[in-house]
Structure 1
Amino acid sequence: MTEKATYAYGEEICSWLSLKHDKSKPQQISRLNNMKIVQVDYGHDFFAILTDEGQVLACNLKSEWGMNETLRLINRSNDCFKMIACGGEHLFLLRQDNNFDQRTGYSLSSYERMIHIDKPKNFKRIVCGFDHTLSITYKGEIYSWGDNNCGQLGFGDGRDRFGNIQLGLGDGRNRNTTRPVAFPNADLATFQIKDIVAGHQYSLFLFKNGLLWGCGSNSHGELGLGDFNNRSKLTKIPIKNVQQIACSKFHNFSLAYDGSSYYAWGETKSGKWSSPRKLGGHPTSFSAASAMILSSPITFGLTSIIRSFGSHDSISYQSESLLRLFDNRDSYDLEFIIDNKHIKACKCYLKSASEYYRRMFSGNWSENDQVIINDYSYETYYAYLRMLHTGEIQINHQNIAELVDLANCYGDKRLMKHCKTFIWNDLNAQTMPSYLPLIIKYDMKEFYDKLSRITIKQVLPKVADSIRQNNKKSIEFLKWFYDQ
């Protein structure tokens, strides 16, 4: 995506959109001109897009949805949505009033029909596996429904409680009822849930204490438990300090990130890994990590990457010279040491590329051949040093906070500009809690106007709804307001 346009690349997706695939360049999707995309997800032969205005557009290869090989707006009347999730054959939509809707191209005759799911429970996140769905409420409660043939719903039994009714339509046997996931012990319930992902026939649950739990199919080692036995109860996966997780609804592998390294387990191109394995090669995203273990990489929907240097010719030219000075054991006079890992570099070049390093190596550190870095992770510092040699930086949700701090500390205006561009493009009501501390700490006044517009348009209506539903909250809000 650019600021005003969105593009597609690939023979299959271009055919869905009636675009001519060209191997040399991506194709502009004119239907999305001047639209801000906040989420992308995909199912079997279809994909869906959510805009910052709450609109949902979808494209489907099959005739059942009546898309006719083009993107179609599928919002009903004035409904606005804040999140989408695609299963194998169905699409869930979370409305801004927290009601669920769903659509499918296989059980129904047209994408125009929408079905309401259960009673609203103030869901803040929904994810879909191929045939099952997981959700988190604002209270931290976890619910699941759909196919349970491998125990992926975490109910503690292996029975196919919901059969194959992945859409929760109900057939008189209460199959459309969302049920809370069963915790194996009372202590686990006290920890706050951080994230959930749904795989092909399994589920992963990440808690804020950094521990990862899973249930469901494990025939390919996708639960990382050292064996190939299914689990119908939540079981702890032997990996600690996990920050983020990812998996695919069409594959049998899992990925985790602990702040410095990526881990993988399950079915890979190198065989079945029944336990988590640390990936080498410094992958900088889940997409890059998937490329190392699969024959074809997966982008996991919308992947936020901003490249600060876009000229392939220039990068090729630099790769012939400057990259030889970076992390090259045959040509270095300096090592950065981070978490017992080493990054090799040349002082002379760093001094010419950065005012910060010029001052550093002109002072007391001029004779040092080793510099210990304690304030930043290895992955972040590696990415920054590589940027100084290539002009290119990859920014994502994992490293943005560290990169902003590094740019501020090192006085790197170019890096700070790229970080601000990343935040600006990713800033919305859902991401605001993550970025607000950075904006305040580093006094990014250029964001204040956008924050005000998001607050007025998206946040305050939710506050008003909450107050209407609870009189006590209205009193608490008034007290806070007048105290201010």
Structure 2
Amino acid sequence: MEQKAEEELVLFFPPVQATLSSLKMLDVGKWPIFSLCSEAELQLVRQACVFGSASNELLYTTVNDEIFVLGTNCCGCLGLGDVQSTIEPRRLDSLTGKKIACLSYGSGPHIVLATTEGEVFTWGHNAYSQLGNGTTNAGLVPYHISTNLSNKQVIEVACGSYHSLVLTSDGEVFAWGYNNSGQVGSGSTANQPIPRRVTGCLQNKVVVNIACGQMCSMAVVNTGEVFVWGYNGNGQLGLGSSGNQPTPCRVAALQGIRVQRVACGYAHTLVLTDEGQVYAWGANSYGQLGTGNKSNQSYPTPVVVEKDRIIEIAACHSAHTSAAKTQGGHVYMWGQCRGQSVTLPHLTHFSSTDDVFACFATPAVTWRLLSVEPDDHLTVAESLKREFDNPNTADLKFLVDGKYIYVHKVLLKIRCEHFRSSLEDNEDDIVEMSEFSYPVYRAFLEYLYTDSISLSPEEAVGLLDLATFYRENRLKKLCQQTIKQGICEENAIALLSAAVKYEAQDLEEFCFRFCINHLTVVTQTSGFAEMDHDLLKNFISKASRVGAFKN
């Protein structure tokens, strides 16, 4: 393959770095491939990575430390031992019991995975030895890399289009695979079939973070310096030139700036400093540098995101997109957004950078390994729900139909204007209630804790009466919605009467329309025969106006 052809190929299949993210809730619905999983399967997901040139492959782990895969299975990238696609999750038995610490993938695609014990496994596309097993044969099952890594604990992995990097716990970087532009850092352009330590300027440095562009590599050391090597045709190495670099070279333009993390995109680079500032350089055809224009930059250029400190940067291989999250929780994106160019950081409505790539990038892959951490922390709303009718913490109880309902005075005062006044000077710990039934009053008090109601449509009429009496307009709307769900020909007139009585206009109109649509049967019910005279008169008049009695 000629150099030009190789560069054009990786232009469309650049790399992605998939580092671990920690999320309270994993809203996987934003990635279409998850629609192939059942609700029961999704409940068990603890980690997930969507990858492939069309986001057609998925790997996820469960609460039982089992690994499942599904999708197109291009080049055997699902690791199942074959190249058969699957629309149903299949367990990756060879890795059962292994806990994933980090994962990354390239363009073939090939997979590089590190376990929590520091072991490295690779599989998938291998035409350029990017699996590090000494061959160029496709890896249909996970291969445990031991050569030069047997006594090392790997803590981070990164894939370029067709090359791989790993970072060990003692700060060393090992690389292998495609090396046409020096991206393996060996000083030559010969492909590297097995892991080889990257030395040169990194020889005595302690590396703390790594990343790969399509054909370049990056490392951040513990002093905050950034070292780069590999392809530089778009200035993505930040060295002020466009010449390739076969061995690690320090980004001199960042002198005096302490970098914490680096992220590589399609052909551009982002770094995050210890002061929460972002710098970018490289390709900028879609505004992915966030500079307000589309001119490439070969030197680090600051990205201005309001005044808030940035705590996270993100770039994804499949699109010219960048994202960042601020300390205040705001998520910004710039670059390619569903084909459009956004040249300055744009504030999104998302709460995570992951959503940027799920919703704006094409294909909808994950830019890092997503993770759901088991969490027994309750939100304020969840805590309040749990405390409803709890006699152990309540300071007030209502006696209704001979049954107690346990509540908290302060919450009732906060949530309801009626209680704000009626409980103001009330020092009693028991309040008797006879105006409403037990199910109705319990549902009302529970609503104050949960903001929802759980009553049958028939009982909801009584709650509608209460909501009208207490002037709880939102509750009144919820009651009407519930009542609508229970309407039938037998009770339509009764519900219409209730709607008129409690001035529930939306429900009244709904019931009236239902009666008109089922007029013949409704007029033969006992409810119609017993209808209040004034209501009957108004019903007939209104029905006539809409032409209900025309032949």
Superposition TM-score tier, normalisation by shorter sequence = 0.5 to 0.7
Which of the residues 139, 145, 148 maps onto 1:74? 145
Alignment of 1:78-477 (within 5 A): 78-80=150-152, 81-104=154-177, 111-112=193-194, 114=196, 116-118=198-200, 119-155=203-239, 157-162=240-245, 175-176=246-247, 178-183=248-253, 189-190=256-257, 192-240=258-306, 241-258=309-326, 259-280=328-349, 283-306=350-373, 351-353=384-386, 359=408, 362=411, 364-367=413-416
Give, in angstroms, the shift of residue 288 of structure 1.
2.0
| Aligned 8 A contact 2:76 2:139 in 1 | no
CA distance in 2: counterparts of 1:141 and 1:110, whole angstroms: 26
| Aligned 8 A contact 2:177 2:194 in 1 | no
Aligned residue identity for 1:28: R
Match in the other structure for 1:54: 118
Give, in angstroms, the shift of residue 161 of structure 1.
4.2
**CA 1:47/1:122 → structure 2, altered by over 3 Å: closer, same or farther?**
same
Cα deviations by residue, 1:321-378 (Å, 9 ceiling, x for unpaired): xxxxxxxxxxxxxxxxxxxxxxxx9x9x985455699758526524479xxxxxxxxx
**CA 1:153/1:106 → structure 2, altered by over 3 Å: closer, same or farther?**
closer
RMSD: 3.4
Match in the other structure for 2:101: 38
**CA 1:138/1:359 → structure 2, altered by over 3 Å: closer, same or farther?**
farther
Cα deviations by residue, 1:32-76 (Å, 9 ceiling, x for unpaired): 111111000011111100012221111122455324411111221
Give, in angstroms, the shift of residue 94 of structure 1.
2.2
CA distance in 2: counterparts of 1:66 and 1:96, whole angstroms: 30
| Aligned 8 A contact 1:215 1:230 in 2 | yes
| Aligned 8 A contact 1:66 1:110 in 2 | no
| Aligned 8 A contact 1:264 1:279 in 2 | yes
Give, in angstroms, the shift of residue 284 of structure 1.
4.0
Q: Aligned with 1:9: secondary structure?
A: strand
| Aligned 8 A contact 2:207 2:219 in 1 | yes
CA distance in 2: counterparts of 1:216 and 1:360, whole angstroms: 61
**CA 1:227/1:361 → structure 2, altered by over 3 Å: closer, same or farther?**
farther
| Aligned 8 A contact 1:226 1:275 in 2 | yes
CA distance in 1: counterparts of 2:373 and 2:168, whole angstroms: 29
CA distance in 2: counterparts of 1:98 and 1:79, whole angstroms: 14
Give, in angstroms, the shift of residue 308 of structure 1.
8.0
Aligned residue identity for 2:325: Y
| Aligned 8 A contact 1:83 1:95 in 2 | yes
| Greater relative contact order (Cα < 8 A, sep 6+) | 2
CA distance in 2: counterparts of 1:7 and 1:146, whole angstroms: 34
Between 72-81 and 119-128, report the one with greater CA deviation: 72-81
Match in the other structure for 1:167: none
CA distance in 1: counterparts of 2:411 and 2:126, whole angstroms: 65
| Aligned 8 A contact 2:319 2:362 in 1 | no
CA distance in 1: counterparts of 2:290 and 2:362, whole angstroms: 20
Percent of counterpart pairs with the same letter?
20
Match in the other structure for 1:398: none
Q: Aligned with 1:223: secondary structure?
A: coil
| Aligned 8 A contact 1:140 1:193 in 2 | yes
Match in the other structure for 2:67: 6
Give, in angstroms, the shift of residue 197 of structure 1.
0.7
| Aligned 8 A contact 1:8 1:14 in 2 | no
Cα deviations by residue, 1:383-438 (Å, 9 ceiling, x for unpaired): xxxxx899xxxxxxxxxxxxxxxxxxxxxxxxxxxxxxxxxxxxxxxxxxxxxxxx
CA distance in 1: counterparts of 2:117 and 2:348, whole angstroms: 39
**CA 1:215/1:363 → structure 2, altered by over 3 Å: closer, same or farther?**
same
Aligned residue identity for 1:159: S
| Aligned 8 A contact 2:176 2:191 in 1 | no
Query: Any unmatched runs of 5+ in structure 1?
Result: 163-174, 310-344, 370-387, 391-484
Aligned residue identity for 2:298: S
CA distance in 2: counterparts of 1:253 and 1:120, whole angstroms: 34
Between 269-278 and 96-105, report the one with greater CA deviation: 96-105
CA distance in 2: counterparts of 1:238 and 1:127, whole angstroms: 23
CA distance in 1: counterparts of 2:339 and 2:232, whole angstroms: 29
CA distance in 2: counterparts of 1:224 and 1:299, whole angstroms: 21
Q: Aligned with 1:288: secondary structure?
A: helix
CA distance in 1: counterparts of 2:171 and 2:348, whole angstroms: 39
CA distance in 2: counterparts of 1:142 and 1:275, whole angstroms: 25
Give, in angstroms, the shift of residue 268 of structure 1.
1.9
Aligned residue identity for 2:329: S
CA distance in 1: counterparts of 2:451 and 2:372, whole angstroms: 19
Query: Any unmatched runs of 5+ in structure 2?
Result: 1-60, 130-135, 181-189, 395-406, 419-449, 453-551
| Aligned 8 A contact 2:260 2:273 in 1 | yes
| Aligned 8 A contact 1:130 1:250 in 2 | no
Give, in angstroms, the shift of residue 296 of structure 1.
3.1
Give, in angstroms, the shift of residue 22 of structure 1.
3.5
Q: Aligned with 1:44: secondary structure?
A: coil
CA distance in 2: counterparts of 1:131 and 1:389, whole angstroms: 54
